[in-house]
Amino acid sequence: MLCACRFAARDPSTRRAIELQLPSDPPLPLQELCYHQLVAPPHLVQAVLQRCPPSLAALSLAESSFCDIPAAVRSISCLQRLDLSYNRFEDLRPLACLTTLTSLSLERVGLRDVPPELSRLTALRSLSLRHNPEIRGSWAPLAALQGSLTRLDTSGTGLAGTAHLPDELTTLSGLRWLDASSNGVRSWRQLAALQRLTHLALRSCQLSELPAEALAATGLRSLNLSRNERLSEDGLGRLSALRSLTCLDLSACFVSRLPPSLSALTSLQQLLLAAFELL
């Protein structure tokens, strides 16, 4: 009987190898398991994950140099949150079996397309695809998540220079949180369909003005427009329509003066102006 599994991981603060151990007899009543920066042979990873208790709800395998999702992950029946960030996966088909997932992070995993397996994850509420600049294919799998997805991160996903955001975004009517930063698209018309947004981030999008389509989200509470160096005072005039804003980030923007439209934001509690330069 396997009583314990030991394998090495890097301590990110010291870069020294440390030993991790997961007793299996009796199994721990774990709910979260994090193997960040794991360095271990695949068979040892497989052995440990096979001993994960049924209660496990969250698993992080970020920065572990995996090329494939460990097969044992599919047997964790109650898994709700999975972080696979900073790995270079060649096969994401095992994701289709993880139908209990409510949160999935695929940050910087070398995606070229939005994985079709996502269309099976109909309980998914939070999805991060950030920093996958090679995504060029269809975003169709997102349409299957219209009944569940409330949080989506598409920042740095290769949309720069494209005509507009993916049309599939218009089906996500329940979306509350969207980060579309570092995507210099030419049209933001898809934002008009996201009327329930409460958080919107458009950092580093080469904006010269606040997109009119963003005004459809009348309940917007947090807006991040930082690092848009082309923004002008006139381009921020539309801010006055967002009366529910409590947080506004204009860091690293270059304008002649603070726009008068800010005076209309009577609910504003936090205004971020780091590296803000008045010309």
DSSP state, 28? Answer: P
| pLDDT given at position 16 | 43
| pLDDT given at position 161 | 63
| pLDDT more than 90, % of the chain | 53
Q: Structural domain boundaries of the chain?
A: 134-278
Q: Of the ranges 89-98, 208-217, 265-274, which one carries the lowest mean pLDDT score?
A: 89-98
Question: What value does the mean pLDDT of the chain take?
Answer: 84
Show Cβ contacts of residue 188 under 8 Å, excluding neighbours closer than 6 positions: 164, 165, 211, 213, 214
Condensed to tens digits (0 to 9), the pLDDT of residues 14-53 reads 444 444 455 455 555 667 777 666 666 667 777 777 777 7
Are 105 and 128 in contact, with CB atoms under 8 Å apart?
yes
Task: Indicate the pLDDT class of residue 85, thresholds 50, 70 and 90.
Answer: very high
One-letter amino acid at 113 equals D
Show Cβ contacts of residue 277 under 8 Å, excluding neighbours closer than 6 positions: 253, 254
One-letter amino acid at 177 equals W
Q: Quick one: tokens of 24?
A: 């299996």
Q: Would strands 4-10 and 38-39 be described as parallel, antiparallel, or unpaired? A: antiparallel
Alpha-carbon distance 208 to 8, whole Å?
49
Query: Is the pTM value of this prediction over 0.75?
Result: yes
Q: Which helix (H) or strand (E) holds 223?
A: strand 222-224
Condensed to tens digits (0 to 9), the pLDDT of residues 129-177 reads 999 998 887 899 999 999 999 999 999 997 766 778 889 999 999 999 9
| pLDDT given at position 242 | 96
Task: Indicate the pLDDT class of residue 223, thresholds 50, 70 and 90.
Answer: very high
Task: Indicate the pLDDT class of residue 6, thresholds 50, 70 and 90.
Answer: very low
| pLDDT given at position 257 | 81
At 142, phi and psi to the nearest 5? -65, -30
Q: Quick one: tokens of 187?
A: 């049209």
| pLDDT given at position 227 | 94
DSSP 110-125: --SS--GGGGG-TT--
Q: What is the CA radius of gyration of the chain?
A: 21
Three-state helix/strand/coil letters over 131-182 = CCCCCCCCCHHHHHHCCCCCEEECCCCCCCCCCECCHHHHHCCCCCEEECCC
Flag whether pLDDT at 84 surpasses 50: yes
Handedness of CA 94, 98, 99, 103 (dihedral sign): negative
CATH of domain 134-278: 3.80.10.10
